[in-house]
């Protein structure tokens, strides 16, 4: 074992203060504890003992890992070297997974450990999306989220984590970062260490000593197309990804070229049900707000059945479908009430649920006013519905902003984009009803569709052109426009553009535009998650 740095003698000051306090009959001032970990990659031999013992100690099933060792080849044959990275939860000071968790199933303890409680996990997978390090997974046996938790059950009884005990080269060091006598504090204070994604402002408690940039940043190393568990062989001419853009492997590559040789598969936590849920919410908002706007502009009367019944009923139907999709997509749908009974107010999943319930209440009040035949009550309800509806449409932008690692979503254009999408989808959904009930307002509705379509396409273009932090956002944009999801994106774009022809083709534009917005929504959702973070 290496000797601790000489500067660790500074800890004698703290120890002396404690001794003086005791001599004076005073209780030493307790220091807040923060468990942290240093991984010395110059010592790691990639024996995978930490991976194996972690599975044994924590009953981690096959196919998922709390910790694993990633490897990257640097250089060109015959001058190559292989570097490693022990990959796991970064135990953040400000963990995004805890901030977004709606039930506090992911939480940060007072001693700095980010832990989890499977008993109250609803399986929404929000923590997987929020984590900038791809360190969380859904256990396939109990369908709950889990990750490395420093073997907290061992620390509580005075034992070191299992990976620390089994490491044959003592490459893993665990200790109290706030205790200057601990080896972890000495290494962090006096030696060169690095953390992953410091720009995310999570302040990780996992420090790497001697790690190569090609392992710390997954975009620094080229990877074979399609990924996979082991990438030890690169097919001739295979497409690889580097620095956010695709390229072909070349015979005379730089000696410093990096190639990923072993990794685990990268998962996309939120699938089509979440994309569909976001889309149905847009329709639910627009289906009522569009008739209200037509009434406010004088194109239809407040007594019109479009305002009183048709719009609210369509909105309630799609709002109910939104809730159904969200609940059925949970890994533990029967635990959904925990969002309200054990709510974590910082989570925009909780706030969004309350906003949806409030919007549903406003729609119910509108129907009640319509049944009572009160035009005044309808107008008052509509005045409340406008701000509540817009918030309902746009709060998803705040939810996505809690996903620190998904740079494509960290976009100021997203909120107005969602508002315009709600107006567009609501307007085209109402086209057949307006043609039958209020034919005099059809022209105005068609012009609204044209304007909303143009704004939608312009905002989408602005969204794709805005890169908050370079490579990760660029790679997500490439995946959406030229990569795996390009087909959905461009077909969806063509479908949305049909809205510009609404005055010429009438209600036929409706289903085409609706399908186009859904395809675009899904490609956008998947592309942001497709960027590897570990």
Q: What is the pLDDT of residues 313-326, one digit of tens each?
A: 999 999 999 999 99
Helices of type H across 373-485: 375-401, 414-437, 442-465, 471-481
- For the chain, residues classed under CATH 1.20.1630.10 are 272-529
Give the model's pLDDT for residue 215.
87
d(CA 267, CA 134): 9
User: Hunting for tokens 């909303």 — which residue is that?
Assistant: 452
d(CA 321, CA 43): 54
Beta-sheet pairing, 68-76 with 79-87 = antiparallel
The secondary structure of 465-476, three-state, reads: HCCCCCHHHHHH
User: Hunting for tokens 């404690």 — which residue is that?
Assistant: 18
Give the model's pLDDT for residue 467.
52
Beta-sheet pairing, 35-40 with 172-176 = antiparallel
Residues in the chain where the model's pLDDT stays below 70:
1-31, 224-256, 466-469
Give the model's pLDDT for residue 221.
81
Give the model's pLDDT for residue 343.
85
Helices of type H across 105-182: 126-130, 152-155, 162-166
What class does CATH assign to 6-11+29-262? alpha beta
Find out whether 426 and 453 touch, Cβ atoms under 8 Å: no
Q: Would the pTM of this model clear 0.75, i.e. be above it?
A: yes
The tokens for 378 are 């309808």
Give the model's pLDDT for residue 224.
63
Task: Please write the tens of the pLDDT for every residue from 243-297.
Answer: 334 433 333 334 467 888 888 877 899 999 999 999 999 999 999 999 999 999 9
The tokens for 10 are 């500074």
Give the model's pLDDT for residue 225.
57
Find out whether 488 and 439 touch, Cβ atoms under 8 Å: no
- For the chain, residues classed under CATH 3.30.70.20 are 6-11+29-262
Residues in the chain: 534
The DSSP call for residue 194 is B
* Cα first-last separation, the chain: 29
Find out whether 322 and 446 touch, Cβ atoms under 8 Å: no
What class does CATH assign to 272-529? mainly alpha
């Amino acid at each position: 074992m290496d000797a601790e740095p000489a500067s660790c003698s500074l800890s004698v000051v703290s120890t002396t203060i404690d001794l003086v306090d005791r001599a004076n009959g005073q209780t030493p001032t307790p220091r807040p504890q923060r468990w942290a970990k240093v991984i010395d990659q110059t010592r790691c031999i990639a024996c995978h003992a930490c991976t194996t013992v972690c599975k044994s100690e924590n009953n981690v099933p096959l196919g998922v890992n709390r910790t694993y060792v990633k490897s990257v080849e640097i250089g060109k044959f015959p001058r190559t070297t292989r570097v490693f990275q022990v990959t796991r939860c970064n135990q953040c000071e400000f963990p995004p997974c805890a901030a977004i968790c709606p039930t506090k199933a992911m939480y940060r303890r007072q001693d700095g450990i980010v832990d989890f409680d499977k008993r109250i996990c609803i399986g929404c997978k929000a923590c997987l999306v929020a984590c900038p390090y791809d360190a969380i997974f859904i256990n396939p046996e109990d369908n709950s989220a889990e990750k490395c938790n420093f073997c907290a059950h061992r620390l509580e009884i005075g034992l070191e984590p299992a990976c620390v005990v089994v490491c044959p080269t003592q490459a893993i060091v665990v200790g109290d970062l706030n205790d200057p006598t601990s080896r972890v504090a000495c290494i962090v204070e006096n030696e060169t260490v690095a953390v992953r994604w410091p720009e995310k402002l999570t302040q990780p408690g996992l420090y790497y000593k001697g790690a190569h940039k090609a392992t710390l940043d997954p975009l620094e190393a080229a990877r074979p197309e399609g990924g996979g568990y082991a990438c030890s062989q690169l097919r001739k001419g295979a497409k690889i990804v580097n620095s956010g853009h695709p390229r072909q492997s070349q015979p005379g590559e730089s000696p410093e070229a990096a190639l990923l040789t072993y990794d685990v598969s990268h998962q996309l936590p939120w699938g089509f049900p979440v994309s569909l849920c976001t889309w149905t919410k847009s329709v639910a908002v627009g289906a009522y707000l569009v008739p209200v706007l037509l009434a406010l502009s004088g194109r239809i009367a407040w007594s019109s059945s479009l305002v009183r019944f048709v719009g609210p009923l369509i909105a309630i139907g799609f709002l109910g479908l939104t809730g159904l999709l969200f609940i059925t997509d949970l890994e533990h749908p029967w635990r959904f009430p925990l969002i309200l009974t054990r709510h974590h107010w910082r989570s925009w999943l909780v706030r969004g649920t309350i906003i949806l319930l409030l919007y549903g209440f406003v729609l119910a009040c509108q129907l009640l006013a319509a049944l009572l035949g009160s035009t005044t009550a309808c107008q008052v309800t509509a005045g409340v519905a406008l701000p509540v509806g817009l918030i309902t449409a746009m709060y998803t932008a705040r939810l996505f902003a809690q996903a620190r690692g998904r740079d494509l979503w960290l976009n100021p254009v997203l909120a107005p984009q969602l508002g315009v999408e709600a107006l567009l989808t609501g307007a085209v959904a109402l086209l057949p009803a307006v043609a039958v009930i209020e034919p005099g307002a059809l022209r105005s509705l068609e012009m609204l569709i044209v304007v909303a379509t143009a704004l939608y396409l312009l905002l989408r273009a602005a969204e794709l052109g805005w890169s908050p932090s370079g490579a990760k956002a660029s790679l997500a944009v490439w995946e959406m426009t030229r990569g795996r999801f390009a087909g959905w994106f461009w077909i969806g774009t063509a479908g949305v553009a049909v809205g510009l022809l609404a005055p010429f083709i009438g209600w036929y534009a409706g289903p085409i535009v609706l399908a186009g917005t859904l395809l675009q929504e899904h490609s956008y959702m998947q592309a942001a998650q497709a960027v590897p973070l570990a």
